[in-house]
Structure 1
Amino acid sequence: MADFIVPSNVRPETDAQHRIQGPIHAPRHVRIICIGAGASGLLMAYKLQRHFSNFSLVVYEKNTDVSGTWFENRYPGCACDVPSHNYTWSFEPKLDWSAVYAGSKEIFNYFNDFARKYSLHKYVKTQHQVSGAFWNKEKGGYDVHIKDLASNTTISDHCDVLINASGILNNWQWPAIPGIDKYKGVLLHTANWDDKIDLAGRHVGLIGNGSSGIQVLPTIQPHVGKVTTFIREPTWVSPVQGLEQHVFTDKERLDFATKPNTLVEYRKNVERGLNGQFGIFLKGTTTNNDTETYFRQQMSEKLSNPYLEERLIPNWHVGCRRLTPGVGYLESLVKENVEVVYGEINAITEKGCLCDNGKEYPVDVLICATGFNTSFKPRFPVVGPDGKNLQDLWKDEAKSYLGIGAADIPNYLIFLGPNSPIGNGPVLSAIEQQADYMLKMIDRFQTHNISTFSPKAEAIADFIAHKDQFMEKTVWHDPCRSWYKGRPDGPVTALWPGSTLHYIEAMMEVRLDDWEIKYNGNRFAWLGNGYSQTELDPTADWAFYIRDKDDDEPISRGRKLQLINKSGTVQQTAAVSFTGANIDAPKL
């Protein structure tokens, strides 16, 4: 097939004229820059390579290797709180996970092996950190400034479409506690771990009881002399019933690898269970009430300590903060060499932590499991055609279009932007859906004479209004301190107003009426010289639409979805969560 393509050196103003020389939908060359080679960036590279032609791609990655957070995070006990067989791409299973909750090293290997298998490293420039992106009014697209960390020089690149895949849990930060620079012991952050530090026999201080702190404590407790763990607020900690930790046996791994459909059915059952948990996050549902009862019972049994039970079991709903399995965490809190200090740290001294009880707690090593900057505000300027900087637009509250775009910032797409389904259910499934949506926009940009596309401000305003109203019915709206929102009583900025399956269905089709589209010249120049793409291909059937029966794919949304979700093929109800409770229909 001899493609007619619009070359990359054709200027925007002559693009329309050039297209008239070729057939309908002649694909223009599109230059794409992707920021970050973590899971999302690698998926984008894979899908572009698989589905597109006449494109160029470069993925700028600040680290020395790919895999993003799974390259960076290697603190003791680091793992994912999603079952490992379902922390994979839907199309790319891994046969030999060691356990239900695998460690970070295994997860790093999965994404690194994925990149190697599909030759994605050729798109990636490691040790290159993007420092700014500025709209070029003459050429269109972005001039992107990148710091070469190896040579300490700054280079410039240009793209038609800019994709931010830098992640939300990536920009780690020290706790905002006075005096942290005065501490004279060994200071560590879980997201910037130093493997050379030996903790054996030492007195370790641990700040934080989020996911990282919960994973660190049971891992280091058997090896250190003492742990003083500083906790300022309660949190729900318990595996969801049916998804407890389990180390796979050799036979189980062999069955996954050799018995047809064994692994895919296991993965489907886990995914159905994960998708069946959304009722947990809706106030007043049977699922939420039953789950809270189960969690409360589990925490009380494992703590078996009235003082800790009173302080560590929350009085807000299950799910207000991200749920964590917490394998071994609660049991570690009551070990002889663990001291729990509940309350605020007023200051960090040369020796350790000065708390609001008036006591100073000296420690040899201070571990800060204090998380990341989750404001969604970009770490570098992203400046659109009218000079507006997304850092300023999102300074007080990040407001996106369906988690992937921003008003007034054209040709800019975001993975896991504000109000994406980060904690609503399976997250990698949502990332795949975001990638597909982005590719549909890029395809339209490439095959029509489009110069810019960006979500309309009024569409975003309507989406945010709907989101805020919906969130009032959820446990995320409770006054807990969570990275899902900027402050306990603030708007929920991190989560989607619905389940992951809800998001997948919402993103199946591009709503072009929500997008501001501008063209290079005549918007119908894509019609070209009157010839079809089919006529360019001598191996194609030039009468493909003649047949002896109607075998068209469904046209209506409902019938199309039934085909996609294989309606009628599952006998048992999928609307059952691993807690054993039926999912409630929300009364909104």
Structure 2
Amino acid sequence: MTDFILPHNATSDLQATQRLGSPIHTERHLNIICVGAGASGLLMAYKLQKHFQNFTLTVYEKNPEVSGTWFENRYPGCACDVPAHNYTWSFEPKLDWSGVYASSREIFAYFDSFAEKYHLKRYIKTEHQVTGARWDAARDGYEVEIRALQTGQVLTRHCDILINASGILNNWRWPAIPGLDQYKGKLLHTANWDDSVDLTGKHVGLIGNGSSGIQVLPTIQPIKSHVTTFIREPTWVSPVQGLEQHIYTEEERWDFARKPEVLTEYRKSIERGLNGQFGIFLKNSKPNNDTREYFLSQMRDKLQNKYLEDRLIPNWSVGCRRLTPGVGYLESLGKDNVTVVYGEITSVTERGCVSDNGNEYPVDILICATGFDTTFKPRFPLIGPAGTNLQDQWKDEAQSYLGMAAAGFPNYMIFLGPNSPIGNGPVLSAIEAQADYMLKMIDRYQTHNIRSFAPTQDAISDFIAHKDEFMTKSVWADPCRSWYKNRPDGPVTALWPGSTLHYIEALMELRMEDWDVKYSKNRFAWLGNGYSQTELDPTADWAYYIRDKDDDGPLCRAGKRKLLTKSGTVTATAGVDFTGKKAEAPVIERANL
């Protein structure tokens, strides 16, 4: 850790003076601004409220409701590709999910009720969009510009710490196809859905075979006169055995609601299965090879069409693009009212799409399932102390510290930043680990006389070098076109170099040696006036360390981990499927370590 004593300013002098007159570790007031009230922003509000005092928090959300992407995405068939009982916070199960894969509306209701239950909406200003932030050296914080979307009024607010929880799959975009603005029919994007549009009996065009397109097609196919789906590249699509959609019976839901141990074990069995799949993403591993053979067999069985098999089954590794349980998708491609057009769309006309085969395909409604801007650049100008805009710094390649912070941008932390485990395993577990890490850093900032903290460039450079070396052994380095990287042969910017469990363990403790910390005056001012916090509490035991036996917890990392993970309490298994039974398919298998 590199420490510097900066020239005094009025704010620093005042803070240092206050600390010298107070007991050790006095908690100074914090002013925090969070961008976004999706899952990450709500979790930060919850944890700040639960664990901290003497703070002010404002969460600015551009939408009229909370839940982020789960409020925005309402297209037909929109659902999460993670089993619903494990798309919850670890500590906050939902007892009444309708099925294994929940709709976006159900997921929105979960996060909305979470916000209501814990009174989090008092921190949130909806329909307020952050449009810029600039470091203010005189006040050691950010001046944040916010636009009130209902009135157009521009506000400026100061914060000590700025947290970006705006998400990655949130900033949707139209495809860059010439003539798109010339189309005379109804144009829709899956992430900006118009509920008033009736698709019944229409000839619908569908662009894209990523996660959204895979969910849309089997939902709209039965009720449309015809669907023409435009696919430009292959992708691995197959429900993993044990992962098929299942609607819970009344008996199952009754057990979940009234027998907590049943639901907990069910959730654990799924989580163990998810965490047991990391070997899939390692090149030439047995889990990856077995999974490829299984997927290959499943896709051929479901397609039953040599033309589609040759074009839709990839030659790159399983997992290079995000795996999506394609419930009913492959079967839909063979229906009589579905036309598959393989190749690039060269232009859009007033009537429809022109493919690179030279043919025009007229449609009544054109749906773009074409994804999001996943470059990781902030959605607003973020200006650091040196006058650098992080949007420019990350223009070619986003490089973060462990997915959470950027060199040269103090007191700024990011949820699901570059190289977070968003495709490696359970993502909400990773978000919880990030929130805990941020709060440990915020606690240190609050109880020491720290002016600012930012990761060093050396630490980030070393992390990126390690990440790039690791990725050469992963399937993500294959030449597929994926939002995990900016180009097929480019560096993997989206994913963590390891499993989700690996990430959780990596974030358990602060590595202060990786941070550039600047103090207000003397770095030991936090020692204060010589009194402990214990002596302020007349109800505390002022001799708490006197005992009749040594009941301390482990001090070494290995001991702490074994205690935390309940080592020795679980029977080792090759894998479990999503009903909690032994997996029949080879895809959920512990890698050879």
Task: Name the TM-score class by shorter chain.
Answer: over 0.9
Query: Aligned partners of 2:546 and 2:227: how far apart in 1?
Result: 75
**Secondary structure at 1:572 match in 2:** coil
Partner of 2:469: 469
Partner of 2:86: 86
Whether 1:161 aligns to 2:168 is no
Query: Aligned partners of 1:63 and 1:86: how far apart in 2?
Result: 25
Partner of 1:5: none
Mapping of 1:325-336 within 5 angstroms? 325-336=325-336
Query: Aligned partners of 2:485 and 2:365: how far apart in 1?
Result: 31
Partner of 1:445: 445
What is the aligned residue count? 578
- Stretch deviating more after TM superposition (482-491 or 308-317): 308-317
Query: Aligned partners of 1:260 and 1:381: how far apart in 2?
Result: 47
Mapping of 1:387-426 within 5 angstroms? 387-426=387-426
The CA deviation at 1:360 is 0.5
Query: Aligned partners of 2:419 and 2:574: how far apart in 1?
Result: 26
Partner of 1:134: 134
The CA deviation at 1:181 is 0.6
Q: Which string of whole-angstrom CA distances, capped at 9 and with x for unpartnered residues, describes residues 284-337 of structure 1?
A: 111001111111111111111111111111111100000000111011100000
CA contact 2:61–2:125 (8 Å) conserved in 1: yes
Query: Aligned partners of 1:397 and 1:364: how far apart in 2?
Result: 39
The CA deviation at 1:11 is 2.3
The CA deviation at 1:366 is 0.3
Query: Aligned partners of 2:361 and 2:114: how far apart in 1?
Result: 46
CA contact 1:377–1:395 (8 Å) conserved in 2: yes
Partner of 1:246: 246
Whether 1:25 aligns to 2:32 is no
The CA deviation at 1:574 is 6.5
**Secondary structure at 1:11 match in 2:** helix
The CA deviation at 1:584 is 2.5
Q: Percent of aligned pairs with the same residue?
A: 72
Query: Aligned partners of 2:561 and 2:82: how far apart in 1?
Result: 26
Whether 1:124 aligns to 2:124 is yes
**Secondary structure at 2:170 match in 1:** coil
Query: Aligned partners of 1:37 and 1:384: how far apart in 2?
Result: 24
Partner of 2:277: 277
Which residue identity lines up with residue 32 of structure 1 in the other structure? I
The alignment yields a C-alpha RMSD, in angstroms, of: 1.2
**Secondary structure at 2:274 match in 1:** helix
Partner of 1:584: 591
Query: Aligned partners of 1:554 and 1:389: how far apart in 2?
Result: 44
CA contact 2:231–2:342 (8 Å) conserved in 1: yes
**Secondary structure at 1:155 match in 2:** strand
Query: Aligned partners of 1:283 and 1:214: how far apart in 2?
Result: 25
**Secondary structure at 2:354 match in 1:** strand
Query: Aligned partners of 1:11 and 1:305: how far apart in 2?
Result: 71
Call closer, same or farther: CA 1:25–1:192 in 2, change over 3 Å: same
**Secondary structure at 1:341 match in 2:** strand
Which residue identity lines up with residue 584 of structure 1 in the other structure? A
The CA deviation at 1:576 is 6.5
Query: Aligned partners of 1:213 and 1:532: how far apart in 2?
Result: 60
Which residue identity lines up with residue 399 of structure 1 in the other structure? Q
The CA deviation at 1:171 is 0.4
CA contact 2:574–2:590 (8 Å) conserved in 1: no
Query: Aligned partners of 2:202 and 2:33: how far apart in 1?
Result: 46
Partner of 2:209: 209
Q: Which string of whole-angstrom CA distances, capped at 9 and with x for unpartnered residues, describes residues 128-156 of structure 1?
A: 00000001121110000000001011011
CA contact 2:11–2:138 (8 Å) conserved in 1: no
Which residue identity lines up with residue 241 of structure 1 in the other structure? Q
Partner of 2:6: none
**Secondary structure at 2:523 match in 1:** coil
Query: Aligned partners of 1:236 and 1:464: how far apart in 2?
Result: 28
Query: Aligned partners of 2:13 and 2:218: how far apart in 1?
Result: 62
Query: Aligned partners of 1:503 and 1:214: how far apart in 2?
Result: 29
CA contact 2:574–2:589 (8 Å) conserved in 1: no
What are structure 2's unaligned runs of at least 5 residues?
A: 1-9, 578-582
Query: Aligned partners of 1:93 and 1:545: how far apart in 2?
Result: 37
Partner of 2:386: 386
CA contact 1:576–1:583 (8 Å) conserved in 2: no
Query: Aligned partners of 2:83 and 2:218: how far apart in 1?
Result: 19
The CA deviation at 1:544 is 0.5
Query: Aligned partners of 2:297 and 2:574: how far apart in 1?
Result: 26
Partner of 2:151: 151
CA contact 2:234–2:314 (8 Å) conserved in 1: yes
Mapping of 1:558-569 within 5 angstroms? 558-569=558-569
Partner of 1:305: 305
TM-score when normalising by structure 1: 0.97
The CA deviation at 1:12 is 2.3
The CA deviation at 1:506 is 0.2
Query: Aligned partners of 1:183 and 1:13: how far apart in 2?
Result: 62
CA contact 1:426–1:500 (8 Å) conserved in 2: yes
Query: Aligned partners of 2:531 and 2:561: how far apart in 1?
Result: 33
Partner of 1:266: 266
Partner of 2:431: 431
Q: Which string of whole-angstrom CA distances, capped at 9 and with x for unpartnered residues, describes residues 214-248 of structure 1?
A: 00000000111100000000101112222221110
- Stretch deviating more after TM superposition (570-579 or 101-110): 570-579
- Stretch deviating more after TM superposition (252-261 or 203-212): 252-261
The CA deviation at 1:424 is 0.1
The CA deviation at 1:582 is 3.8
**Secondary structure at 2:266 match in 1:** helix
TM-score when normalising by structure 2: 0.96
**Secondary structure at 1:47 match in 2:** helix
Query: Aligned partners of 1:254 and 1:157: how far apart in 2?
Result: 48
The CA deviation at 1:13 is 2.3
Call closer, same or farther: CA 1:575–1:529 in 2, change over 3 Å: farther
The CA deviation at 1:386 is 1.1
Which residue identity lines up with residue 95 of structure 2 in the other structure? L
**Secondary structure at 2:550 match in 1:** coil
Partner of 2:291: 291
Partner of 1:191: 191
Partner of 2:555: 555
CA contact 1:272–1:574 (8 Å) conserved in 2: no
CA contact 1:286–1:583 (8 Å) conserved in 2: no
Query: Aligned partners of 2:198 and 2:449: how far apart in 1?
Result: 60
CA contact 1:274–1:425 (8 Å) conserved in 2: yes
Partner of 2:236: 236
